[in-house]
């Protein structure tokens, strides 16, 4: 039995933590939040240089060739400091799409650039409000040209390359969906940067009109491949959420030790203490579920779909719980712009909606348990 990361993996995690402590301070996050900058380019370049971006990309494609386990731990660190960089869109999603479904030529031309941070990738799926089901995908490709609209594309402001889910013909349902690579700097692409809950990572809406699009993977495989990649990305996002949970809990704990009221530290009041204990419980459950999912991800286990949904539901609940009660613990100060509590609250709620909202993953988890690809216990 070994449900833990190795000492070597933890040492790498520690390096990344120290790097981020220095380079991704509150001031650095706020610079992005309070400006039109799409992301922290210096930080992103630094992460590329450290090998964080290329960690799980094979060396043949310009990566470092470590495993998904290292990437999980790096994700935790990025989440802990709510890093204002597009790692999840570019690496957990775009690079994973290329690795899973890309042709040799596509992998060779794009993966080294993603690993080096030279370009930013993303995944464009959603077209409107509500849970995305196959019938809601209307964007379509004719003769290698994409037309349609994609909304709230994560890191859309920073992205150079998108994997787009679109219809390849008139067929309806999931089988009519394929994936396409679209150069967002090319013709036929109109980008509108959005004002969102979490301006530390800027989303955008894209209107495509006859934009050149190259198919990624087999015709009609789009929905299936997207599901596989989203499961994998969900695990990495869950690690970001666990990192964020831990940091929000630490902030609340530190404030509860420091802040005096009625002649004593507020952390000595059970109302505060018990709230923090419950945050610890949520964060611990999420972390344990994430370790299970990390195992499934790194071994490509049959349980991966259940493990991914479990980790995602648990970590979403945990980060939302910890971030909102971090504000509550801080009282009025927690609702000021000057304190960082709102940055975590923003990130926790934006992540909860990213890649399928909580209710979507809850439903997926139950469908999968029912399908019986893991023991119900």
Partner 1 sequence: MDFEDSPEEAAFRAQVRAWIKANAPRHLEAELKTAGFADNGIRSTDPLAACRDWQRKKYEAGWACLHWPKEYGGGGYQPIQRVIFGQEEGIYASLSGPFGIGQGMCGPTLMAWAAEEHKQRYLPPLASGEEIWCQLFSEPASGSDLAGLRTRAEPAADGSGDWIINGQKIWTSGAHRSEFGLLITRTDPSVPKHKGLTMFFLDMRSPGVEVRPIKQANGQSEFNEVYFTDVRIPDSQRLGAVGQGWEVSLTTLMNERLSIGSGMSLGFPELFAFCMEAEIDGRPAVDDSAVRSRLATYAVRQSGLKYTGMRAITALSKGQTPGPENSIGKLVAGAAMQELAMFALDLQGAAGVEMGDDQPLQGRFQKMLMRSPATRIEGGSDEILRNIIGERVLGLPGDVRVDKTVAFRDIPTSGRQKA
Among 277, 302, 333, 336, binds partner 1 (CB under 8 A): 277
Nearer Cβ to partner 1, position 189 or 252?
252
Q: Rg of the Cα trace of the chain?
A: 20
Nearer Cβ to partner 1, position 149 or 363?
363
Q: Residue 264 Cβ, how far from partner 1 at the closest point, in Å?
A: 6
Q: Are 181 and 213 in contact (CB under 8 A)?
A: yes
- For position 310 contacting partner 1 by CB under 8 A, the verdict is yes
Q: Residue 127 Cβ, how far from partner 1 at the closest point, in Å?
A: 22
Do the strands 121-124 and 161-167 form a parallel or antiparallel pair, or are they unpaired?
parallel
Among 39, 253, 324, 347, binds partner 1 (CB under 8 A): 253
As a whole number of Å, the end-to-end CA separation of the chain is 18
Binding mask of the shown chain, residues 183 to 222, with x at each position contacting partner 1 by CB under 8 A? ----------------------------------------
Among 294, 304, 327, 350, binds partner 1 (CB under 8 A): 294
Report the distance separating Cα 202 and Cα 187, nearest Å: 22
Q: Are 145 and 188 in contact (CB under 8 A)?
A: yes
- For position 362 contacting partner 1 by CB under 8 A, the verdict is yes
Q: Are 152 and 205 in contact (CB under 8 A)?
A: yes
- For position 359 contacting partner 1 by CB under 8 A, the verdict is yes
Q: Strand runs (DSSP E) across 213-362, as ranges?
A: 214-216, 260-261, 264-265
- For position 2 contacting partner 1 by CB under 8 A, the verdict is yes
Give the number of C-alpha atoms closer than 13 A to the C-alpha of residue 137, restricted to the C-beta side: 28
Among 24, 32, 69, 234, binds partner 1 (CB under 8 A): 69
- For position 271 contacting partner 1 by CB under 8 A, the verdict is no
Nearer Cβ to partner 1, position 8 or 42?
8
DSSP code string of 346-376: HHHHHHHHTTS-HHHHHHHHHHHHHHTSS--
Give the SS3 label for residue 84. coil
- For position 280 contacting partner 1 by CB under 8 A, the verdict is yes
Report the distance separating Cα 303 and Cα 4, nearest Å: 18
Q: Residue 308 Cβ, how far from partner 1 at the closest point, in Å?
A: 12
- For position 298 contacting partner 1 by CB under 8 A, the verdict is yes
- Identify the helix (H) or strand (E) that includes residue 243: helix 222-258
- For position 93 contacting partner 1 by CB under 8 A, the verdict is no
Long-range contacts of 276-280 (CB under 8 A, 24+ apart): 276/249, 276/252, 276/325, 276/329, 278/321, 278/325, 279/245, 279/248, 279/249, 279/252, 279/321, 279/322, 279/325, 279/326, 280/249
Q: Residue 357 Cβ, how far from partner 1 at the closest point, in Å?
A: 11
Q: Residue 337 Cβ, how far from partner 1 at the closest point, in Å?
A: 27
Q: Applying CB under 8 A, which residues contact partner 1?
A: 1-5, 69, 249, 253, 256-257, 264-265, 267-270, 272-274, 276-278, 280-281, 284-289, 291-292, 294-295, 298-299, 309-310, 313-314, 317, 359, 361-363, 365-366, 369-370, 376-377
């Amino acid at each position: 039995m070994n449900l833990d990361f190795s000492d070597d993996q933890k040492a790498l995690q520690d390096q990344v933590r120290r790097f981020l402590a220095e380079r991704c301070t509150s001031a650095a996050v706020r610079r992005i939040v309070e400006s039109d900058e799409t992301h922290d380019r210096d930080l992103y370049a630094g992460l590329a240089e450290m090998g964080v971006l290329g960690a799980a990309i094979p060396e043949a494609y310009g990566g470092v060739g470590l495993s998904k386990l290292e990437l999980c731990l790096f994700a935790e660190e990025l989440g802990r400091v709510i890093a204002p960089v597009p790692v999840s869109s570019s690496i957990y999603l775009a690079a994973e799409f290329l690795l899973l479904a890309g042709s040799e030529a596509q992998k060779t031309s794009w993966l080294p650039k993603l690993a080096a941070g030279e370009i930013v990738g993303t995944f464009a799926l959603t077209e409107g409000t509500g849970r995305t089901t196959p019938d809601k995908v209307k964007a379509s490709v004719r003769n290698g040209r994409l037309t349609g609209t994609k909304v709230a594309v994560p890191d859309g402001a920073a992205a150079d390359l998108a994997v787009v889910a679109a219809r390849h013909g008139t067929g309806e349902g999931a089988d009519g969906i394929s994936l396409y690579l679209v150069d967002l700097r090319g013709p036929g692409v109109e980008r509108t940067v959005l004002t969102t809950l979490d301006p530390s990572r800027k989303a955008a809406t894209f209107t495509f009109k006859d934009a050149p699009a190259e198919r990624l993977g087999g015709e009609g495989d789009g929905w299936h491949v997207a599901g596989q990649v989203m499961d994998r990305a969900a695990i990495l996002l869950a690690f970001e959420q666990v990192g964020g949970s831990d940091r929000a809990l630490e902030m609340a704990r530190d404030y509860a030790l420091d802040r005096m009221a009625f002649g004593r530290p507020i952390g000595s009041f059970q109302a505060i203490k018990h709230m923090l204990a419950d945050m610890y419980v949520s964060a611990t459950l999420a972390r344990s579920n994430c370790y299970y999912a990390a195992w499934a991800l790194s071994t490509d286990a049959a349980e991966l779909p259940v493990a991914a949904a479990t980790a995602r539901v648990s970590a979403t609940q945990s980060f939302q719980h910890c971030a909102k009660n971090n504000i509550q613990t801080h009282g009025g100060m927690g609702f000021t712009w000057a304190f960082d509590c709102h940055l975590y609250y923003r990130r926790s709620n934006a992540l909860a909606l990213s890649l399928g909202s909580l209710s979507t993953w809850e439903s997926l988890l139950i469908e999968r348990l029912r399908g019986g690809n893991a023991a119900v216990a």
